[in-house]
């Protein structure tokens, strides 16, 4: 396994520069947000929908680094990504508190309505690893919880991320869901047709993230 990790690392270092001489992909967009804990201490109906600086379309990836400290065993950290054309169409990722680490993925489309496409009530996400949501117009939606792929190539039609919201409380009289920390969200998007190799280092980074998580969990269990 250690040799596999080294091969991937070397691929990112030596293969990409060979293509870096080409014109960079003009559609490549990177955007990072750090969402503080207090923004999760609200109910869904009161959660503001915040517009991103850029629209992420065609091919995009969202990486979630959850560093929140939960204050309520019934609290959650829920992220919704909204489509550019229709705010009623969204992708939802929910992450519950330790030690259960509940994790779910839901989508809402005009045709199907709100549907939970994946749910884990135990060990659904891993604080040591990042969860990744990825989408392409051709391949659909894929979600990795930091250790394994839990949603694969789900067809949700076209989806361009335009805005987001977060919440964590079920009812307005509930105690706060989280007490401190933050959730870091990184958006990466582009059109591979304009230069497929411009996105190569991010594919390598995503693969390395999964391998690191597997190595960590394997070592922890042993």
| pLDDT at residue number 8 | 43
Asked if 28 and 198 touch (Cβ cutoff 8 Å), the reply is: yes
Q: Using CB atoms within 10 A of its CB, is residue 106 exposed (0-12), middle (13-18) or buried (19+)?
A: middle
Strands (E) across 37-136 are located at: 50-56, 59-66, 69-70, 77-83, 90-95, 103-109, 113-120, 131-136
Pick the CATH number of 2-221 from 3.30.70.360, 2.40.30.10, 3.40.50.720, 2.60.120.200: 2.60.120.200
How confident is the chain (222 residues) per 10-residue block, as mean pLDDT? 43 41 69 97 97 96 98 95 95 96 96 96 94 96 97 96 97 95 97 62 51 54 56
Asked if 164 and 62 touch (Cβ cutoff 8 Å), the reply is: no
pLDDT digits (tens, 9 = 90+) for 159-206: 999 999 999 999 999 999 999 999 999 999 998 777 655 454 555 445
Neighbours of 4 (CB within 10 A): 11
The end-to-end CA distance of the chain, in Å, is 15
Distance of alpha carbon 164 from alpha carbon 32, whole angstroms: 13
| pLDDT at residue number 216 | 52
Query: In the block, which residue shows the tokens 């779910």?
Result: 104
| pLDDT at residue number 192 | 78
| pLDDT at residue number 207 | 54
For the chain, give every domain's residue range.
Answer: 2-221
Within 8 A by CB and 6+ apart from 46, the residues are 167, 172
Dihedral (Cα; 38, 43, 45, 48), 10-degree rounding: 10
């Amino acid at each position: 396994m250690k040799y596999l990790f080294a091969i991937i690392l070397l691929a990112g270092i030596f293969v990409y520069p060979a293509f870096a001489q080409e014109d960079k992909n003009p559609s490549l967009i990177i955007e990072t947000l750090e969402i503080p804990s207090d923004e999760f201490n609200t109910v869904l109906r009161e959660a503001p929908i915040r517009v991103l600086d850029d629209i992420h379309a065609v091919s995009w990836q969202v990486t979630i680094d959850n560093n929140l400290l939960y204050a309520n065993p019934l609290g959650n950290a829920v992220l919704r990504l909204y489509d550019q054309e229709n705010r009623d169409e969204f992708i939802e990722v929910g992450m519950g508190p330790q030690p259960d680490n509940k994790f779910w993925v839901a989508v809402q489309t005009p045709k199907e309505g709100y549907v939970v496409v994946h749910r884990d009530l135990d060990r659904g996400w891993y604080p040591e690893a990042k969860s990744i949501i990825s989408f392409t117009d051709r391949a659909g939606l894929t979600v990795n919880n930091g250790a394994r792929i839990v949603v694969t190539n789900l067809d949700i039609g076209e989806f361009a991320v335009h805005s987001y919201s977060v919440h964590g409380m079920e009812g307005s009289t509930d105690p706060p869901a989280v007490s401190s920390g933050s959730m870091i969200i990184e958006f990466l998007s582009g059109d591979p047709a304009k230069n497929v190799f411009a996105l190569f280092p991010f594919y390598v980074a995503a693969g390395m993230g999964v391998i690191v998580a597997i190595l960590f969990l394997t070592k922890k269990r042993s």
